[in-house]
Structure 1
C-alpha cells in the first residue's frame, strides 16, 4: 500500500495525535500529501500552531521507508485506516486510530465482540464473574476485548482462553512492552488466541495519559461493553461512557451495595445499562438484534437514492466529515440536506457521530 509508510510516519510524529492526523489527511487529501506539503502550507493550517513546527522538524529527522523497515525487522504488524483488514467497528468511531500496531495470530474480524472491563483491584466475586462471562461468550463464538490489566481485564482474557475462543488485548503502551510485567505468560497466551494491539508506537512505555485513548479502542472494537466491578470514578466507567458516545451497548453486573467496587456498575444500572447476571443476558440482546435486522432485510424493498442523497454519499468516506463541510461541498439547502442525511441514516448507509460529524458505513 503506497500510502502506508506515510500514515505510520505521521502517526509517530511527536505531539500530533490521532485527530490531528485525520484532520491533516482530510485537509491535504492523503498522508503522502501531508508529508510532502511545503512548510509554508503546514504553518498556514488553522489551529495547528506549534504542532506544525514539530511536524516539520520530524520530517527532517526521519523517512517513512526507514520507519517501515525497522517495524518489519521487529515482526510487528501494522494496520492503517484505509486497509480492508482494519476493524470495521473501529473505523466507525469519531476518532479512529490512523495506525494500529499488532502482534499475534488473528486480528479482530467480523462477528460479535464484547468488551469486559473493570477494576484492577477485583474481588473474588468479580474475578469469578468476569471469567465465567468471558468463557461463555467464547464458547458461543463471540470474541472478548479487554485491556490486559490486572484484575477484571486479566480474568476476562483468561476466561476467553478457557472457552477456547478469541480475545484481543488493547495496550496503553507499545505492543512490544509487556505491562504489567507479571502478565508475560498471559500476554503470549492472548497472542496465541487473538492479538495484542496498540495505537502507540513500539517501545512506548505505559503512561497514565495513554489509557483514556486506549479505552476508546476497547469500546470501539466491541458491539457492547460489560462493566463487572468498578469504583465510582474509574477507567472502566470512562470506557462505558466512550461506548455510549460511540453508540454501543453498555452492560453492568450488579454487585453488593456494601462493596465500593460495585458502586460503578450499580450506578450504570440506575442510568439504564442492561443488567447482566449471566452470559445469556448478553447473547440474547444480539440474537434479538440479528433477527430484527434479518426481518427488515427480507421485507425491505430497495429504494433508489435521490439526487441529494447521492451528492451527500459522494462527499462522505470512512473518515468523519463535519456537517459544515457536507453543506459547503454539496451546495444543498439546509432543509434538503437534513432530509437526505436522515434518510441515509435510517437506511444505514451513513452514521452520525457526536459533534456534527458523519461517515459512510
Structure 2
C-alpha cells in the first residue's frame, strides 16, 4: 500500500459522520478511497446522501498527521497488519454485515480470521466453575480445529482464550481499544501470547482508550466472525447477551450452559434457553451441532491436570436412585443421606448473613459457587492448607451455608 493510499484509507475511516455502510456504498461506486475523495460533492451525495458527502469531503482532524505517522510506525513493527475493505485478507464473514469496519488493525496469525470459528463468551465476574467450563469448552473446540473467538475481558473471555491458545484451532481476541493498547491491563501478558500464537484484531484507531460504548460495537464483530456463540455464564443484563442476540440476527447458532436457579449469573443463560438457544452441557454437543469431528484419540481434547483430577473423583449415586430406594450398591450412602440435622443452636447461626463470616469462609464460599465440588477441587481453587480448608468447610456447614453430599461433595445450601 502506497503512502497516499494509506492516508486516504485513514482519512475516510476517521471521517466524522461517515458511517461504514455509506462508506461501503461510496467505495462500491468509485473504487479506492482516493477516488472517493477526488469526487465532487454532487457525485458523492447521489450515491450515499448529503450527510455522507459532507463527511467524506470535510477537512481531516487536526491530529490527522500525527495519527498517520503513528500508523506507519505501527505497520512497520513485525507481526502487524492493516486490513482494508478492499484487501483480499479482509474476513469474508464481516462483509455480510451491513456496517463492516473499513479498517481492521490486526496482530498475529491472519489466517485465523478466515477459519471456522466459535465464540465463547460470558461474565467478567465469572464464578470458578464458569472459568473452568470456559477453558474446557474452548480447549475441546480448538482441539477440533475450530478457532475460539472472544473479547479479552476478565472472567470467561480470558479463560476461553487460555484454553484455546495452544490448541490446533487457536484463538482470536476482538478488542474494544486501539490495537496498541490492552484492556484490561491485567491481560497484557495474555494479549502478548495471543499476538504470537493467535490473533488480536480491532476496528478502533490506534490510541483509542477503553470506552463503554466500544464494547457492544466490538461484540458485533465477534458475532459476525463465528458460526456459533457459546454463552457460559451471564447475568440478565450482560454484554454476552448482546453478542448472542447479534449472532442470532446474523443466522448464527447460539448455545447456552445451564446452571443453578439460585445463581444470579446463570439467569442470562436461562433466558437465552427460554428464547430458543440450544442448551449444551458439553463441548461435544457444540461440535455435533456444527458438524465438526471431535479431537482424535479419546474423542475430546486432552484435559488439564485439574480436569483429570475431577474426572477421577468418585461420583455420588444419582439422587433419583436415592429417592426410589435403589441403594443396593452403596447402602451406607443412603444412611448418610438420612443423617440428622445439626442442633437447633447451630441452625440459629445459619440465619446470619454471609457478611458475618470470616475472610477464609467467604473466600471458600465464593470458590464453591453454585455447583457441587469436592475438597480436592476447592483446594485447587483456594490454595488453602488442608486443615484450614476442612475447618472452614465445617464452619460453613454448621452455619447453614453449604451442605455435604454423599461421595465427599459439597454444595451451596438452597435458600429457603
> What's the TM-score bracket when you normalise by the shorter of the two chains?
0.7 to 0.9
Aligned ranges for residues 262-341 of structure 1 at < 5 Å?
262-287=266-291
For the pair 1:228 / 2:246, whether they are aligned, the reply is no
Aligned ranges for residues 233-248 of structure 1 at < 5 Å?
233-248=237-252
Hey, what does 1:36 align to over in structure 2?
38
Hey, what does 2:22 align to over in structure 1?
20
In structure 2, distance between residues paired with 1:238 and 1:212 = 7
1:259 to 259, 263, 278: 263
Deviation at 1:19, TM superposition (A): 2.6
Per chain length, whose mean CA-contact separation is higher, i.e. which structure has more relative contact order (CA < 8 Å, sep 6+)? 1
Q: Which moved more, 1:30-39 or 1:63-72?
A: 63-72
Contact 2:41–2:57 under 8 Å retained in 1: no
SS at the partner of 1:79? strand
Change (3 A) 1:85 1:45: closer
In structure 1, distance between residues paired with 2:75 and 2:292 = 44
1:69 to 69, 72, 77: 72
1:210-258, Cα deviation, whole Å (9 max, x unpaired): 1111001111111111111111111100001110111111111111111
Deviation at 1:275, TM superposition (A): 1.3
Contact 2:126–2:155 under 8 Å retained in 1: yes
**Runs of 4+ displaced beyond 6 Å:** 43-46
Contact 1:89–1:220 under 8 Å retained in 2: yes
Deviation at 1:202, TM superposition (A): 1.1
SS at the partner of 2:163? helix
SS at the partner of 1:204? coil
Q: Give unmatched runs, 5+ long, in structure 2.
A: 294-416
Deviation at 1:178, TM superposition (A): 0.8
Hey, what does 1:161 align to over in structure 2?
165
Larger radius of gyration: 2
SS at the partner of 1:189? helix
Change (3 A) 1:269 1:200: same
In structure 2, distance between residues paired with 1:105 and 1:124 = 30
Q: Which moved more, 1:198-207 or 1:7-16?
A: 7-16
Contact 2:145–2:168 under 8 Å retained in 1: no
SS at the partner of 1:101? strand
In structure 2, distance between residues paired with 1:217 and 1:57 = 29
Q: Which moved more, 1:203-212 or 1:18-27?
A: 18-27
Deviation at 1:32, TM superposition (A): 2.1
2:193 to 168, 189, 199: 189
Deviation at 1:195, TM superposition (A): 1.0
Deviation at 1:285, TM superposition (A): 1.2
In structure 1, distance between residues paired with 2:115 and 2:225 = 11
Deviation at 1:123, TM superposition (A): 0.7
